[in-house]
Structures are given as structure tokens and as C-alpha cells.
Amino acid sequence: MGDIAVTTPAKPAMRPARAEFSSGPCAKRPGWTPENLQNAVLGRSHRSKLGKARLKEAIDRTREVLQVPDDYLIGIVPGSDTGAMEMAMWSLLGARPVQMLAYESFGKDWVTDVTKQLKLEAEVLSAPYGQLPDLSKVRKDADLVFPWNGTTSGVRIPDAAFIAADREGLTICDATSAAFAQPLDWPKLDVVTFSWQKALGGEAGHGVLILSPRAVARLESYTPAWPMPKLFRMTKAGKLNAEIFEGSTINTPSMLCVEDYIDALRWAASIGGFAELRRRADSNLKVLEDWAAKTPWVGFLAEDPSIRSNTSVCLKVVDPRVTALSDDAQADFAKKLASALEKEGVAYDVAGYRDAPAGLRIWCGATVDSSDLEALTPWLDWAFEVTLAEFAPA
């Protein structure tokens, strides 16, 4: 790196009150304590009257906070967002042509599942990390599978204008890091999935599957050519199993996790619902944008602000002393940068996703407080200088 005079800076005086900036599972809601879960239905069947009532409350509160249309169905399913997406793809695809948007790791995973496991000849519209595919190529006659927000790329779809209102195909949207922070255009979406472990800082293992009337019609009129695992079955004798969307889950859920989700939804409603959740996420992103604007060593993986995520914010090191390094050395630099933050207890789990370009990924969803991000930014500068000193020659 040449002759570099690097001095280790003093540590910042302030520390984030909560250092949980992981992109999943994400930070618990402000004020969370285990005592909030005292109403959990423990030691009882989830199919008991009491258990079903708690699951139904989770569904009803989801509809209220996310402003889901009354004629859309909401179900709690196994396997987190991945389980919900697999249920949708295995149950619905194959009836007509398929298009897929792949611009980050999970979108690419869905491509693998559809093309390698279901063996469908999908048209893949791809883009490098930090960018979106050409959305003008989306066809209205094809089913479309896509992530609304690229959790590993820090990119989001700005709106659903590219989806035809009179489309013939279904839209299957992975919204796991968009829900509760970004507006979802419900009339343009037929299937929406997310995991509450990201959206509201809930505990892992459970997914949410939302179906439009068009998706239900497909389920009842089309039978896929492949065998359907029990966990994916949403119909009985050709008709929708409506009980799934009233609280009768396909397998046994954790009622403690369900209670935790209800607690988060209650908090969301108490602070002003979706509008306030979105405002909080936008404010969190602005903290990092304001800091990055005056910080020469850092940039956003999503360089275009109009498509920049307000939840999974991905940063890259742009300092020429680092970009001149090999790819492996840059990746090592980013890991050491994240490690320095973790050792100080000021930011946990902020390394970029393993398949993404080297950098940091900082969760800015609604359960994170802006004051903690404001306290974090001086530590980011400190960690950069410390890591740079480690990479400089003796």
C-alpha cells in the first residue's frame, strides 16, 4: 500500500445503546423485555381454542399494520421466508411462462430452485449487486418471481409501475426485508412473503404467506406436475385449505415466537402503524446517508438513491488505499472492519453477506433507533482507521 503514515485515533465517547444491527434476526423493538411475553400459550396445543386465537390475532394484526386488503389471505407457515417462498413457487408455478428478477443472493436462490429443482425454463432478468434489472422487460403474460428488497445488495424496487394492472400471470414477491418499512403495492402483488425475524425483530423459523384472490384461483384451478411435500400443501381435494389462513398452521409453530410477533405488532400499532414504521426506517437511512456524504472512505453499494434500501443498507469501502488491494485482501479488510466494531461492542453482525461484494451491511429497519446509528457513525470512522493501520506496512 506504499508508505502510509497512520495514527490510531481515539475511541469515540458515545456508544450505541443497542448494538444489534444484524440483518436477520434483527434488533428487537425498543423497550422489549421477556416479560412482554407472559401471555404466551405455553404447554398447550397450538390447535387449542386459546392457541388458535393467538395465531388469529397475529394474522389480524398483520393485516391492520401492513394495510393488507380484506380479500387477501394471510397465513403463518414453517421455514421462515424461505418456507413461504418455496410453498408459493412449488404450488403455483408451471401453469404459464416464468420470469425471475435476480439482483442479489436470495433472488438467485429462487432462480436455482425454479430452474434446477422444478426444472422450469424461466427467463432470468439479472443485474450486478447494487443495481436493478431492466424492469421494462417484465412481461404481463408470464408469472414473475422477484424480491422487492435485495437484502444482500441494499437495493429496492422503488414502485410497482413495471407490473401491468391487467397482467395475466401472477406476481410472487419476496418482501422479507421490505415489509413494515417500504410501501407494497397490493393490487400489483399476488403473493407476498416475509419473515418476522427481519421485519419486526421477531424470533426465527416462521414465515408469513399472503395470497391475493388471483393466487387462490390459481391454486384451485392448477395442479403442478411434481409431487407436493406435506409442508407445501395448501389445497384439499382441489380446494384451498382455508383453515391455514385462520390460524390452523400446517405444522406446529412456537407459540412463544408467535407471542413475540404479536408484541411487535402491538408496538407497531401503538406508535402509528405502517406510516411511522416507514418514517423510522427512512430516518435511519438518512443518518447513514448524511454521514457518508461527508466521509470520503465509504460509499453505498446501491449508488442510485432512488433504489437504495432503507432497511438492509450495504456500504462499500471506496478509499483508493483499499480498492487498490486484491479482491481477497479487500474482503479481508471488510471482515476486520466488522470485527473491530464487534470487539468494541458497538455493532454486531455487520459484515456484508458472504456472496455479496466486500463491505458492511447495517440494518436500518424500524426496530432500530436513529440515535444508535448516530452514535455508531464515529465508530465506523474509528474502525476504518484502525483497520487501515493494521493493513499498512510497518
Task: Locate 50 and state its grid cell.
Answer: 386459546
Domain 273-391 listed as CATH 3.90.1150.10: yes
Q: How much is the pLDDT for 393?
A: 53
Q: Please confirm whether the linkage preceding 25 is cis (ω < 30° from 0).
A: yes
Task: Locate 245 and state its grid cell.
Answer: 389462513
Task: Locate 120 and state its grid cell.
Answer: 422450469
Which residues of the chain form CATH 3.90.1150.10? 273-391
Q: How much is the pLDDT for 295?
A: 98
| Residues facing residue 172 across a β-bridge | 145, 191
Read off the DSSP letter of residue 114.
I
Cell 406435506 sits on residue: 230
Instruction: Mention every residue, 6+ apart, whose C-beta is less than 8 A from residue 69.
Output: 186, 187, 212
Q: How much is the pLDDT for 4?
A: 46
In the CATH hierarchy, which fold is given to the domain comprising 34-269? Aspartate Aminotransferase; domain 2 (3.40.640)
Written as one string, the DSSP assignment of 294-311 is: T-TTEEESS-SGGGB-SS
Q: How far apart are the first and last CA of the chain?
A: 11
Which residues of the chain form CATH 3.40.640.10? 34-269
Block means of pLDDT (10 residues each) for the chain, 394 residues, are 60 97 97 95 88 95 98 96 97 98 94 97 97 98 98 96 98 98 98 95 96 98 94 92 89 95 98 98 98 98 98 97 94 97 98 91 98 98 96 62
Whether the Cβ atoms of residue 257 and residue 202 lie closer than 8 Å to each other: yes
Q: What span, in angstroms and rounded, lies between the C-alpha atoms of 314 and 152?
A: 7
Q: How much is the pLDDT for 116?
A: 96
Instruction: Mention every residue, 6+ apart, whose C-beta is less than 8 A from residue 161.
Output: none
Q: How much is the pLDDT for 7?
A: 64
